[in-house]
């Protein structure tokens, strides 16, 4: 059985036929983020989609170094609120976590799509040293925060 491959656009996805009733679909989000799904068409012509998988590609060591460079916590030391800059590669499906020096998790926040900065209320924190961790897409970066 031979299948003629062709590409079309369906719901923003580039759709390529990979079987008689099966399509592999890809949506480009940015240079290193893609969404992939499989779509099948039944005998009555109705489409059914698989779960959509989001893929983030770290293409080089430079990408990881860029993430570390662009992850900033300021002001530091802090009296009240502080900001956390979110690197491009961690602006989807990431978590911001604040730990005390003993490793207790104090704050956990999901990073929404294309969120460039998170403002954290540090008023309830005691004076001391904390770890701000940003985790997502196979990358984890940390910065030390001093509360005065």
Domains delineated in the chain:
7-56 (no CATH), 61-147 (2.60.40.3080)
Residue owning tokens 């990408």: 63
C-alpha span between 22 and 57 (Å, rounded): 25
Q: Name 36's Cβ contacts closer than 8 Å, sequence gap at least 6.
A: 24, 25, 26, 27, 52, 53, 55
pTM above 0.85, yes or no: no
C-alpha span between 44 and 47 (Å, rounded): 9
Instruction: Give the chain's mean pLDDT.
Output: 85
Residue owning tokens 């983030």: 56
For residue 8, the model assigns a pLDDT of 65
For residue 7, the model assigns a pLDDT of 59
């Amino acid at each position: 059985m031979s299948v003629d491959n062709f590409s079309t656009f369906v719901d923003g996805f580039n759709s390529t036929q990979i079987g008689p009733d099966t399509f592999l679909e890809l949506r480009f989000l940015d240079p290193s983020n893609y969404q992939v799904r499989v779509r099948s068409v039944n005998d009555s012509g109705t489409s059914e989609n698989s779960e959509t998988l989001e893929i983030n590609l770290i293409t080089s060591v430079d990408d990881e170094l860029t993430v570390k460079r662009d992850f900033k916590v300021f002001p530091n030391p802090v009296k009240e609120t502080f900001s956390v800059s979110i690197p491009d590669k961690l602006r989807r499906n990431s978590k911001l976590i604040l730990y005390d020096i003993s490793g207790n998790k104090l704050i956990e926040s999901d990073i929404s799509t294309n969120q460039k900065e998170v403002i954290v209320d540090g008023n309830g924190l005691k004076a001391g040293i904390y770890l701000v961790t940003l985790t997502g897409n196979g990358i984890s970066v940390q910065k030390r925060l001093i509360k005065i």
